[in-house]
Amino acid sequence: MATEAQPVTAAKRLSRTRAYVSLTKPRIVELLLVTTLPAMMLAAKGLPQWWLMLVVLVGGSLAAGGSSAINCYLDRDIDPLMGRTKQRPLATHVIAPRNALIFGLTLAVISVSLMAAFTNPLATALTAGAIFYYDVIYTAWLKRTTKHNTFWGGICGAMPVLIGWAAVTGSLSPLAWVLFGIVFFWQMPHFYALAIRFRDDYAKAGIPMLPVVATPRHVARDAVIYAWLTVLVSLAAWPMGMSTIYGVPAMICGGFFILEAHGLYSRVTKGEDVKPMRLFHWSTAYLTIVFVAAAVDVFI
């Protein structure tokens, strides 16, 4: 009997571990890594010290994971209502709300403590501020009260770029703010596309995402505007010490990004199948290519 019970216990532990990992929303952590490391390389004009990269990436991942877990705790009333989130651990009662909150707060405290111990006051303050803004200002307030929630939420989404830069230099240069602007403006077409796809979910949960409260034409138009702003800001980095290694991919990929946003608008106005996930997936590829190009530019 004991030998039969042991695999069951191990399976439960593995399932529980996976549930806690899912609370951290690993895909958000991936985005953090894609943007933070190139920002640190640009700030250092080369490869930063290995221990500093490790601290920032671990601290940033813990901050993102902790704030995501707290986000799941705060959204535990609406997650069961949406198809996209109804399988989250709190919605399925795999993890108790109190445990999720403690888990999230613990990760957040560890991340800020790590940044305080090994970086500098500015990077530490930005990390703590990003966690507070995402969970208290965005999740608990703006997400549920304004159609501009994606815009305001974009601030915390772009903070890892500033945190990485500040960790290297202890300050924020104009180029750091340009990188922030790229990620900030990029989030609107990226998340508008996702919100179009899951519009009914957000409506059911009472979340006033722009596609819920505005016409499809309005949302598609805004996606086009912010796609153009993203690309224009990305090109503003070119004369700020970047070479064609960065500039050409930013221009070409930006062109495709804008074309895809216009394609969404065209399909909406013609009453065709909107296919919003085309823009969503291409926007992810665009951001990755631009920041990888920025990292490569440092060494060539």
pLDDT in tens, 53-81: 999 999 999 999 999 999 999 999 999 99
pLDDT at 165: 98
pLDDT at 27: 81
**Residue 9 — pLDDT band, cuts 50, 70, 90?**
confident
pLDDT at 2: 46
Encode 137-154: b = buried (16+ Cβ within 10 Å), e = exposed: bbbeebbbeeeebbbebb
Q: Which of 24-38, 140-154, 203-217 has the lowest mean pLDDT?
A: 24-38
For residue 259 the two structure tokens come to: 């074309």
* 156: phi then psi, degrees, rounded to nearest 5: -70, -30
- 255 CB neighbour count, 10 Å cutoff: 12
- Looking at every residue in the chain, the average pLDDT score rounds to 94
**Cα dihedral sign for 131, 133, 139, 140?**
positive
**Residue 4 — pLDDT band, cuts 50, 70, 90?**
very low
pLDDT at 25: 87
Element (H, E) at 281: helix 276-299
For residue 255 the two structure tokens come to: 């062109």
pLDDT at 14: 87
**How far apart (Å, rounded) are the C-alpha atoms in residues 224 and 215?**
15
SS3 (DSSP) at 243: coil
pLDDT at 8: 54
**How far apart (Å, rounded) are the C-alpha atoms in residues 193 and 59?**
30
The model's pLDDT over 124-178, given as tens digits with 9 standing for 90+, comes to 999 999 999 999 999 999 999 999 999 999 999 999 999 999 999 999 999 999 9
**Residue 29 — pLDDT band, cuts 50, 70, 90?**
confident
pLDDT > 90 in the chain, percent: 90
**How far apart (Å, rounded) are the C-alpha atoms in residues 185 and 225?**
9
For residue 174 the two structure tokens come to: 């104009």
pLDDT at 90: 95
Domains in the chain, start-ordered, CATH in brackets?
A: 8-171 (1.10.357.140), 173-300 (1.20.120.1780)
